[in-house]
Amino acid sequence: MRVGELSKKSGVPVPTIKYYLREGLLPAGVLTSPNQAHYDDEHLRRLRLVRALMDVGGLSIASVRDVLGAIDTHDESLHNKLGAVQEAISHPSPVELDPLAVADVQAFFTRNGQTECVDVTESNVTHMLAAALSSARSVGHDRIHELLDPYLEGLKIIARADLEYVTRHSSPDDVIEAMVVGTLIGDTVLKAVRRLAHAQVSRERLGEGTEPYLPN
């Protein structure tokens, strides 16, 4: 297909496609003449992924390039690729880290057998967790770290569902792309479903009356 057809099928304007080509986010097409190139379904799939990363995930061009680099690496295991992608799409808050929050994260990892977490800033994921706990501490919620262990147990169920979903795809690249899009969209879905769960559990525990809740 020519660039006009690629634009029509993807819904991405031609100038944007040409910008992605210049930035290296989209592989060059096969030249059929000095001024014409042919694009195939692989270009369409990559274009949709780039749009998902930018529009759904809100990633910058540099971050998108990091994600695509992780996807295109051929000498890594699928597990390592998934880890690299999760790092690329994770963005810690720029808040100053509270030493007690950092200690909480390190203790959490130690309890769960991941003793290599010495410096939380070496990983975007662990840095993000430490930043979240630091923010909680800054507003007086010093004990929110107590939720980490039950959160982990609950989220393992979700992680298994995620992996079962993405590994239905046949090729490693398809698995990676499904993980990227599924994680970004799934984060939003989880927020919404979590709020629905809060409403249900609150109704069960607190009721809908006007009496204040008094813990036992």
Residue 35 has φ and ψ, to the nearest 5°, of -120, 10
Q: Is residue 207 left, alpha or beta, with left meaning phi > 0 and alpha meaning psi from -120 to 50?
A: left
The per-residue pLDDT for 101 is 95
Give the span between the Cα atoms of 41 and 146, in whole angstroms. 48
Confirm whether 127 is domain-assigned: yes
Sign of CA dihedral 45, 50, 54, 59: positive
Is position 179 within any domain? no
pLDDT at 188: 84
| pLDDT of 216 strictly over 70 | no
pTM: 0.75
Express each pLDDT in 165-194 by its tens digit. Answer: 888 877 777 787 788 878 878 888 888 999
Indicate whether 108 belongs to any domain. yes
Residue 44, domain member (yes or no): no
The answer to whether position 105 is within a domain reads yes
Instruction: Count the domains in the chain.
Output: 1
Residue 138 domain-assigned (yes or no): yes
* Domain assignment present for 114: yes
**Confidence band of 152 (pLDDT split at 50, 70, 90):** very high
Q: Is the pLDDT of residue 210 over 70?
A: no
Residue 211 domain flag: no
Contacts of 21 (CB under 8 A, 6+ apart): 28
Q: Is residue 211 over pLDDT 70?
A: no
Range of the domain at 112: 91-145
How high is the pLDDT of residue 148? 95
